[in-house]
Amino acid sequence: MLDNPDGEHPLVAVGVYVGGRLVIKYVAKKSVKYAAKRYKEKLKTGKGHGNRSNYNPATLYKKVDEHGNLLKWEITKHKDPTKRYTKKQIGKGRVIALKRGPRKTILKMERRLVETRPGPHNRER
């Protein structure tokens, strides 16, 4: 159990198994059961942080310049990936949707592409 600096509302670690993985969250002692149930539901439904690897729909796309040269590989939740950019950001280039599917699968595809054929704007290294 952890205590807050003011000495009130001690926190306890709540362990929740989701998909065989233990997830730890610290909550106020008085709301342990409620917090565990709510957090588990949040993880199951895929709500929460947008970069989470889950089964929500995602689109793999590539951004190219006006000559068709690859600039970067990217993922978005939108069916139309042009919604990620302003017209000024796209300029004379294009944004081309390649595949739509579960985010978990699309993340693996993007990772493979970035590692084998990275674009100059892909900052992962």
pTM: 0.61
Query: How far is 103 from 106, CA to CA, in rounded Å?
Result: 5
Helix H, strand E, coil C: the string for 1-48 is CECCCCCCCCEEEEEEEECCEEEEEEEEHHHHHHHHHHHHHHHHHCCC
Q: What is the pLDDT of residues 56-114, one digit of tens each?
A: 899 999 999 999 999 999 999 999 999 989 999 999 999 999 999 999 999 999 999 99
Closest to 71 measured CA to CA, from 95, 53, 39, 41:
95
When pLDDT is averaged across residues 36-60 and rounded to a whole number, the result is 70
Using DSSP, state whether 43 is helix, strand or coil. Answer: helix
Q: Are 76 and 95 in contact (CB under 8 A)?
A: no
Tell me what the mean pLDDT of segment 39-56 comes to. Answer: 66
The residue with tokens 């939740």 is 77
pLDDT for the residue 4? 46
In this predicted structure, what is the pLDDT of residue 28? 64
3-state secondary structure of 97: strand
CA 93 to chain centre: 26
User: How does DSSP classify residue 29?
Assistant: G
